[in-house]
Amino acid sequence: MVLEDWHTHNEMCHHAVGSIEEYLRQAIKNQLRTIGISDHFPYEFLKNIERIPYQEYAITIPEIEDYLLIAENLKEKYKQIINVRIGFEVDYFKNQEYALNNHLNKIKNRLDYILGSIHILNFRDGRGAWGFDDSRFRRDFEFYGSQNVYINYFKKLQKMINSEDFDFDIVGHFDLPKKFNDRPNNEEQVLDEIMKTLELIKAKELTVEINTSGLRKPCKEQYPSENIIKEMYLLDIPILLGSDAHKPKEIAWKFKKITKILKKIGYNQFVHFNKRKKTFIEI
Ligand SMILES: [Zn+2]
Ligand SMILES: [Zn+2]
CA of 94 to the centre of ligand 2 (A): 17
Tens-place pLDDT, residues 115-172: 999 999 999 999 999 999 999 999 999 999 999 999 999 999 999 999 999 999 999 9
Tens-place pLDDT, residues 53-97: 999 999 999 999 999 999 999 999 999 999 999 999 999 999 999
Query: Residue 234: is its pLDDT beyond 90?
Result: yes
CA of 140 to the centre of ligand 1 (A): 20
CA of 217 to the centre of ligand 1 (A): 13
Distances (CA, A) of 281 to 126, 223, 238, 278: 45, 21, 11, 10
C-alpha atoms less than 13 angstroms from C-alpha of 185 in its C-beta half-sphere = 6
CA of 255 to the centre of ligand 2 (A): 18
CA of 9 to the centre of ligand 2 (A): 9
Ligand lying closest to the C-alpha of residue 213: 2
CA of 232 to the centre of ligand 1 (A): 25
CA of 75 to the centre of ligand 2 (A): 23
Which residues are CB-contacts of 60 (< 8 A; sequence separation ≥ 6)?
Answer: 42, 44
Tens-place pLDDT, residues 193-216: 999 999 999 999 999 999 999 999
Query: Residue 1: is its pLDDT beyond 90?
Result: no
Query: Residue 222: is its pLDDT beyond 90?
Result: yes
Domain hosting residue 57, numbered range: 4-282
Ordered alpha helix ranges (H), the chain: 20-29, 64-77, 97-104, 138-144, 146-162, 187-203, 226-234, 255-265
CATH no. for residue 249? 3.20.20.140
* Separation CA 276–CA 46 (nearest Å): 25
Q: At what angle do helices 187-203 and 226-234 cross, to 10 degrees?
A: 40
Tens-place pLDDT, residues 240-276: 999 999 999 999 999 999 999 999 999 999 999 999 9
Q: Percentage of the chain surpassing pLDDT 70?
A: 100
Domain count, the chain: 1
CA of 267 to the centre of ligand 2 (A): 24
Please give the mean pLDDT across all residues of the chain: 98
DSSP annotation of 171 reads E
C-alpha atoms less than 13 angstroms from C-alpha of 196 in its C-beta half-sphere = 16
Count of all residues that appear for the chain in the document? 283
